[in-house]
C-alpha cells in the first residue's frame, strides 16, 4: 500500500498495463487450458441406403474437431454411455511423461467401462500441425475418430504462405455390418475379415456408390484462393491414393511436422498418417466441377480389400455468388475425374516417400540422432497359428489360422494395463522384458518363405534406458505375401533415415542413411518387400505401443510395446497416475 500510494494515477495505470502485457506473454508461452466434453453414445446413421447404430462421440460422425495451440493444455472428459468399453488415443501427441493419457486399451490404461468417465489431461508440447484422435480398442475406431488441429503459438506464422482457408479432409471406411461382429467372426474362423462396403470422405461415401449421391462431401472454393487440406487417413485397413482432378497439391507437412514443400498430382497416405497440402484454386471461374478421389493402394495377394473409389466434389463459386453459402453446384457442368495409380503401384509410393524431407532450419531443426546407443532389427509380417483343437480354420490352410508378428512374436494383449503394472512393480504374470532385439532364426526375409510359417505368442516388452539414441530397422517379410505395413509408434516422433527394397544390408545400407534432413513422422510405411530404418531419442518414460495401423494386422498380433525407464532427474520420470484412472 505504501508503494502504491507513492505512485501517481498514471503510473499505476502504466504499471497495471505492463503487468497485463507480461501476463499475456506468459499465457502465450505457456499456452492456455482448453476443456472438451466427449460423451460416447450410440447413434443411428444412414449410409448406402441402410441405417445402423454406431458408436459416436457427442452423436457426431466423424467426431468433433479439437483445436489447440502449441503449448496448450487439453482436458478432455470422456463419459462412456455406449454398451462397449472405450478408450481414446490422441494420435501423434507426444504425451511427455503423461502416458496415462495416451489411450491404447490394456497398454496405458484399462478401458472406460459403460457408465464410467475418465479425464484425459495432457499438454501439447513442441508440436503443431494436423493430428487426430480415435478409439483404441477392438475395431471401434471404424466410427470413433476426429481431427486434432494444433495451431502455432500466437504470432508465429506458417513457414509457407498462409492459406485463405483450412479444411480437414478425413478418409474412412463404412461397413453395412457391425465391425465388432466382423472381427469376432474372423477371429473365430481364423480367416481374413470381411471388408468394408465403402470408403468415405468426412463420413460421406459420395456419388460413385449406390444410393449415395446425396451423401457427397463438397468443397466450395473461390477462384484465385489457396486452401490447406488437412488430410487424415482414419481408414481401418486401407492405404489410399488421393488426387483432385486438374489440380496440383503442394505437400507442406506430414504427421504434424513441416517438410520442404514439393508439388504432386497424387499422393499416398496410409492409415494413421496425416498430410497437409496446399491446393491453389484456378485464378478464374472454370465452368467445371472436379472430383476429389481416393482409392486403395495394396500389394496383398490373394487377400481381399475394399477396392472401391470414394469421391467428393470440388466446386467453384460463381463470381457473382451473393455469399459463400450460395448453391453453386451445377450438374450440367463438366465433371472431371483424376487418374489414380494402379492399386499395387509400389514404385509410385516409394518415389513419393523419397521426396519427404524435414525443413532442417534453425527454427525447425531436424534433431536426428547422429550416434546410436541401442540398435534393433525387427521383422514385421504375417504368419500362422495352428488351428485350435480339432477345429477347422479358414486361414491359409484348413489347419491354420492367420496371425501376424514382430520378430516372430505375436503380441497378446494382457488383461491388466502394462503401464500401471510397470509403475506399481506388478509385472509378474502380466508381461516379460525379453522382447528379441533381432529375429531368433534369420531367414531370407523377402525371398522364398520358410516351410514353417507358425509364429510364437507372448506379451513381451523391449526395455531401453532413458536418453538412449535408438535405431530400429523394420524389415518386411514375404511369408504370406508381400505387403506394406504402416507402423505407428506411440509417445515419439522418429526420423526416417533410410529405406529400400529386398533385405536390409547392415554393411552397405547404413552409409546411405540421411542424417541431414530426414523426414520426421509418427507413422511410417514399411515398404512392400522392403525395409525402413528409423531413429529416435528415448526421452519419454513409460510404456509405448508400436503396431501396424492396418487394424486387421494389429488384431492378428502385429504389435509390441517399448518400456522406456525413468531418468535420474525429476523431469525425466513418469508422473504418477491420475486418481480416476480406469480399473480393469
Q: Are 44 and 51 in contact (CB under 8 A)?
A: yes
Distances in Å between the alpha carbon of 12 and those of 9, 20, 21, 165, 568?
A: 5, 12, 14, 43, 46
270/411 same-domain check: no
Q: Which three cell numbers stand for residue 535?
A: 531413429
Tell me how far apart the alpha carbons of residues 533 and 520 are, in angstroms, rounded to a whole number: 12
pTM of the model: 0.94
**Strand partners for 501:** 530
Q: Does residue 273 fall inside a structural domain? A: yes
Beta strands in 449-522 (DSSP E): 456-458, 461-464, 469-476, 485-489, 494-501, 519-521
Q: Are residues 244 and 144 in the same domain?
A: no
From the CB of residue 506, how many other CB atoms can be counted at a distance below 10 Å?
A: 10
Sign of the torsion formed by the C-alpha atoms of 147, 521, 362 and 540: positive
Contact present, 272 and 253 (Cβ < 8 Å): no
In a domain, 111, yes or no: yes
Q: What confidence score (pLDDT) does residue 434 get? A: 97
pLDDT (tens digit per residue) in 570-582 = 999 999 999 999 9
Calculate what percentage of the chain has a pLDDT beyond 90. Answer: 89
CA-to-CA distance for 534 and 498, rounded, in angstroms? 7
Query: Of the given ranges (15-19, 150-154, 328-332, 436-440), which has the lowest mean pLDDT?
Result: 15-19
Would you call 172 helix, strand, or coil by DSSP? strand
Domain containing 58 — which CATH number? 2.60.40.420
Q: In the predicted model, is pLDDT for residue 175 greater than 50?
A: yes
Grid cell 528415448 — which residue?
Answer: 538
Domain final residue, candidates 110, 129, 156 = 156
Cell 508422473: give the residue: 575
- Mean pLDDT on 528-542: 98
For residue 298, CA distances in Å to 341, 550, 561, 580 come to: 11, 11, 26, 42
Say if residues 527 and 482 touch (Cβ distance below 8 Å): no
Residue 476 is assigned to a structural domain of this protein: yes
Q: What is the pLDDT of residue 302?
A: 59
pLDDT at 266 over 70: yes
The per-residue pLDDT for 329 is: 61
Using DSSP's 3-state secondary structure scheme, residue 252 falls into: strand
> Does residue 331 have a pLDDT over 90?
no
Each residue of 267-289: pLDDT tens digit?
999 999 999 999 999 999 999 99
Pairing of strands 145-151, 129-135: antiparallel
Q: Is residue 500 part of a domain?
A: yes
Asked whether 199 and 175 are in contact (CB, 8 A), the reply is no
At 58, the pLDDT band (50, 70, 90 cuts) reads: very high
Q: What would the mean pLDDT of 170-193 be, rounded to a whole number?
A: 95
Q: Has residue 249 been placed in a domain?
A: yes
Here the cell at position 99 is 502416458
Owning domain of residue 170? 160-321+328-355
Q: Are 553 and 405 part of one and the same domain?
A: yes
For residues 70 and 153, the answer to whether their CB atoms sit within 8 Å is yes
Cis peptide before 62 (omega within 30 of 0): yes
Decide if 6 is inside a domain: no
Reduce the DSSP state of residue 444 to 3 states and report it: coil
183 falls within a domain: yes
Is residue 11 in some structural domain?
no
Q: Which of 99, 126, 156 is the last residue of a domain?
A: 156
Residues 382 and 529 occupy one common structural domain: yes
- Residues 241 and 345: their CA atoms lie apart, in Å, by 10
Same domain? For 111 and 244 the reply is no
pLDDT tens, residue by residue, 234-245: 999 999 999 999
Q: Are residues 175 and 150 in the same domain?
A: no
Band of pLDDT at residue 303, cut at 50, 70 and 90 = low
Residue 29: its pLDDT value, please? Answer: 61
Average pLDDT over residues 476-502: 96
Residues 455, 551, single domain; the answer is yes
The pLDDT tens digits for 423-466 are 999 999 999 999 999 999 999 999 998 889 999 999 999 999 99
Q: Are residues 394 and 523 located together in one domain of the fold? A: yes
Mean pLDDT of the residues in the chain: 93
- Residues 495, 513, single domain; the answer is yes
Residue, of 297 and 3, whose pLDDT is higher: 297
pLDDT tens-digit series, residues 392-432: 899 999 899 999 999 999 999 999 999 999 999 999 999 99
Residue 26's pLDDT is what? 41
If asked whether residues 107 and 214 sit together in one domain, one would say no
Residues 294 and 388 in one domain: no
Pairwise CA distance, residues 576 & 582, whole Å: 14
Task: Find all residues with CB under 8 Å of 105, minimum gap 6, and list them.
Answer: 85, 87, 111, 136, 137, 413
> How many other CB atoms sit within 10 Å of the CB of residue 314?
22
Pick the last residue of a domain from 125, 156, 187: 156
Kindly state the cell numbers that stand for 352.
513419393
So what's the pLDDT on residue 321? 60
Same domain, 205 and 135: no
Tally of domains in the chain? 3
Amino acid at each position: 500500500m505504501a508503494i502504491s500510494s507513492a505512485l501517481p494515477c498514471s503510473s499505476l495505470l502504466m504499471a497495471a498495463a505492463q503487468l497485463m502485457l507480461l501476463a499475456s506473454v506468459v499465457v502465450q508461452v505457456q499456452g492456455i487450458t482448453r476443456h472438451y466434453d466427449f460423451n460416447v453414445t450410440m447413434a443411428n446413421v444412414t449410409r448406402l441406403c441402410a441405417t445402423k447404430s454406431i458408436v459416436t462421440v457427442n452423436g457426431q460422425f466423424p467426431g468433433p474437431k479439437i483445436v489447440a495451440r502449441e503449448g496448450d493444455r487439453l482436458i478432455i472428459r470422456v463419459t462412456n454411455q455406449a454398451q462397449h468399453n472405450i478408450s481414446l488415443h490422441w494420435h501423434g501427441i507426444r504425451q511427455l511423461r503423461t502416458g496415462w493419457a495416451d489411450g491404447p486399451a490394456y497398454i496405458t490404461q484399462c478401458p472406460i467401462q459403460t457408465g464410467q468417465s475418465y479425464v484425459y489431461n495432457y499438454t501439447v508440447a513442441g508440436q503443431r500441425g494436423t493430428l487426430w484422435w480415435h478409439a483404441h480398442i477392438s475395431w471401434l475406431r471404424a466410427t470413433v475418430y476426429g481431427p486434432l488441429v494444433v495451431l502455432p503459438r500466437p504470432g508465429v506464422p506458417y513457414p509457407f504462405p498462409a492459406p485463405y482457408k483450412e479444411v480437414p479432409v478425413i478418409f474412412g471406411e463404412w461397413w453395412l455390418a457391425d465391425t465388432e461382429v466382423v472381427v469376432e467372426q474372423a477371429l473365430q474362423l481364423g480367416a481374413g475379415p470381411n471388408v468394408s462396403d465403402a470408403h468415405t470422405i468426412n463420413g460421406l461415401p459420395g456419388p460413385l456408390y449406390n444410393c449415395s449421391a446425396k451423401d457427397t462431401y463438397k468443397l466450395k472454393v473461390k477462384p484465385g484462393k489457396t486452401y490447406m487440406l488437412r488430410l487424415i487417413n482414419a481408414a481401418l485397413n486401407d492405404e489410399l491414393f488421393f488426387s483432385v482432378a486438374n489440380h496440383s497439391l503442394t505437400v507442406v507437412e506430414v504427421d504434424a511436422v513441416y517438410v520442404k514443400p514439393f508439388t504432386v498430382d497424387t499422393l499416398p497416405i496410409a492409415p494413421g498418417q496425416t498430410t497437409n497440402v496446399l491446393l491453389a484454386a484456378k485464378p478464374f471461374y472454370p465452368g467445371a466441377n472436379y472430383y476429389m478421389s481416393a482409392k486403395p493402394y495394396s500389394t496383398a495377394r490373394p487377400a481381399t480389400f475394399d477396392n472401391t473409389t470414394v469421391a467428393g466434389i470440388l466446386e467453384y463459386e460463381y463470381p457473382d455468388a451473393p455469399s459463400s453459402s450460395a448453391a453453386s453446384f451445377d450438374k450440367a457442368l463438366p465433371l472431371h475425374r483424376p487418374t489414380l495409380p494402379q492399386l499395387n503401384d509400389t514404385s509410385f509410393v516409394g518415389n513419393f516417400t523419397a521426396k519427404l524431407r524435414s525443413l532442417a532450419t534453425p527454427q525447425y531443426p531436424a534433431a536426428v540422432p547422429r550416434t546410436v546407443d541401442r540398435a534393433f532389427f525387427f521383422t514385421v509380417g504375417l504368419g500362422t497359428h495352428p488351428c485350435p483343437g480339432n477345429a477347422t480354420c479358414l486361414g491359409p490352410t484348413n489347419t491354420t489360422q492367420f496371425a501376424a508378428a514382430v520378430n516372430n512374436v505375436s503380441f497378446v494383449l494382457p488383461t491388466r494395463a502394462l503401464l500401471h503394472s510397470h509403475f506399481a512393480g506388478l509385472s509378474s504374470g502380466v508381461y516379460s522384458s525379453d522382447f528379441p532385439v533381432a529375429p531368433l532364426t534369420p531367414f531370407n526375409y523377402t525371398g522364398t518363405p520358410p516351410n514353417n510359417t507358425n509364429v510364437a505368442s507372448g506379451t513381451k516388452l523391449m526395455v531401453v534406458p532413458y536418453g538412449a539414441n535408438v535405431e530400429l530397422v523394420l524389415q518386411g517379410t514375404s511369408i504370406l505375401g508381400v505387403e506394406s505395413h504402416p507402423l505407428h509408434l506411440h509417445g515419439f516422433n522418429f526420423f526416417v533415415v533410410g529405406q529400400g527394397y529386398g533385405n536390409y544390408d547392415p554393411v552397405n545400407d547404413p552409409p546411405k542413411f540421411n542424417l541431414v534432413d530426414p523426414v520426421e513422422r509418427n507413422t511410417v510405411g514399411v515398404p512392400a518387400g522392403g525395409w525402413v530404418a528409423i531413429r529416435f531419442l528415448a526421452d519419454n518414460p513409460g510404456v509405448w505401443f508400436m503396431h501396424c495401423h492396418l487394424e486387421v494386422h494389429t488384431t492378428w498380433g502385429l504389435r509390441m510395446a517399448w518400456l522406456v525407464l525413468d531418468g535420474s532427474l525429476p523431469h525425466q520420470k513418469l508422473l504418477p497416475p491420475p486418481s480416476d484412472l480406469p480399473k480393469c
